[in-house]
Structure 1
């Protein structure tokens, strides 16, 4: 049970103290792998016609459903190394925040922590008389943000990299800031290719968003350490991305 004195503290599971220098190095290697996979996927999606050609070949009309399907191989490639490394290091799967105990509490926390971000969006949409996308697209969009964005990033950055890197960076808050910067930089390769502009121009134009992304990491780490369960952060992360996308 969370004590009142712990409300403003960030405490990871005791298992984090057991992570060694080797675990920290593995987290860096995994991060570099993650960046390469994201970059290559960006090239595949925006520098070739495969995305459009496959949709045409299989005659898929629902673009949101198709995007969900198209991202599945990327999701698998992003997550498989985590489970391999856990196996190699003989670590418990709970050490990356994959827990089933008190799952409803975690979901509740995720919803509560998303409220400061989604409330202004909802109020603005209502005041401007915006409509909501169709139910079918709502379902597919939610699954996309939950599985292929939030769950992947939470398991990768909050559950794996953030905990393991503390075997390399012993100062807790320094490690959180460093991973926050890493999390922010992770978005650059894919978005640069998508925007089709030079890297320096993208960084200048997107600087506020990059800083915000780093801050979001710190916020989600705080949420994660309420129960050390990525369900809470995955739910919150999903809603923060999902709600602004449902209005038209």
Structure 2
């Protein structure tokens, strides 16, 4: 019902070897995130740190494209296709409105405060574009589809990928704060990350096109960054 025929056929291509490889890519991503966290413990300027964050995101994208190339696969195996683009994009925009609305109204109701819009820098906007592209390519486009070769149950596979997606947001904080704990991130933030994963996953499964997931992720990151509850 929620999975297109094309997406099912894509998953059927993969076996245990690809699933294990997907776990390896996840571990590499965690290592790179920890390295990024180390950069924040140095005396580098904020502008340089923003630049380095972009470099890490671009590096993730490059690694994924290289893996696809080496495996002699096409870009549509990580969701880059024109097929169902419009449907995917529309779903992405609709879901972004719902998710940003949920975050905003939760903040207003729980904190009893007003909403303000804060303009952000061009550098940060670029980060909010490149970062989501890298994360969608990695988790929805690459890891989850390949992981299905190891984990055959679609729901379980999605849940495992969701846990991986949430966990990638921890290493930077672990290194910066010098503490390994899953309590570092606020509970509501973790809930929002899980919602983001399942909504992005739903779009990709429904359309076999990653563009809608990317649009949702970009709009969510930008929307929650410029809307300040104060």
Q: TM-score, normalised by structure 2?
A: 0.84
> In the superposition, relative to structure 1, how do residues 224 and 236 fare at CA in structure 2: closer, same or farther (>3 Å)?
same
What SS is found at the alignment partner of 2:148? helix
- 1:108 touches 1:232 (CA, 8 Å); kept in 2? yes
- 1:82 touches 1:156 (CA, 8 Å); kept in 2? yes
Counterpart of 2:124 (choices 116, 126, 141) is 141
Query: Aligned partners of 2:44, 2:183: CA distance in 1, in Å?
Result: 30
Q: CA RMSD in A?
A: 2.5
Gaps of 5+ in 2: none
State the match for 2:90 in structure 1: 108
Range that drifts further, 84-93 or 211-220: 211-220
> In the superposition, relative to structure 1, how do residues 142 and 41 fare at CA in structure 2: closer, same or farther (>3 Å)?
same
State the match for 1:220 in structure 2: 200
Range that drifts further, 212-221 or 33-42: 212-221
State the match for 1:47 in structure 2: 41
- Structure 1 or 2, whichever has the larger Rg, is 1
Gaps of 5+ in 1: 1-5, 56-65
> In the superposition, relative to structure 1, how do residues 131 and 20 fare at CA in structure 2: closer, same or farther (>3 Å)?
closer
> In the superposition, relative to structure 1, how do residues 140 and 104 fare at CA in structure 2: closer, same or farther (>3 Å)?
farther
Range that drifts further, 157-166 or 100-109: 100-109
- 2:136 touches 2:213 (CA, 8 Å); kept in 1? yes
What SS is found at the alignment partner of 1:167? coil
Q: TM-score, normalised by structure 1?
A: 0.78
- 2:54 touches 2:127 (CA, 8 Å); kept in 1? no
What SS is found at the alignment partner of 2:30? helix
Residue 230 (structure 1) aligned with residue 210 (structure 2): yes
Residue 20 (structure 1) aligned with residue 15 (structure 2): yes
What SS is found at the alignment partner of 1:100? coil
Structure with a larger share of its residues in helix: 1
- 1:180 touches 1:215 (CA, 8 Å); kept in 2? no
Deviations 1:33-87 (A, max 9, x none): 111111111101x1111345x75xxxxxxxxxx82x3333212221222122212
Residue 79 (structure 1) aligned with residue 79 (structure 2): no
- 1:133 touches 1:246 (CA, 8 Å); kept in 2? yes
| 1:217 shift after superposition | 1.6
| 1:112 shift after superposition | 0.4
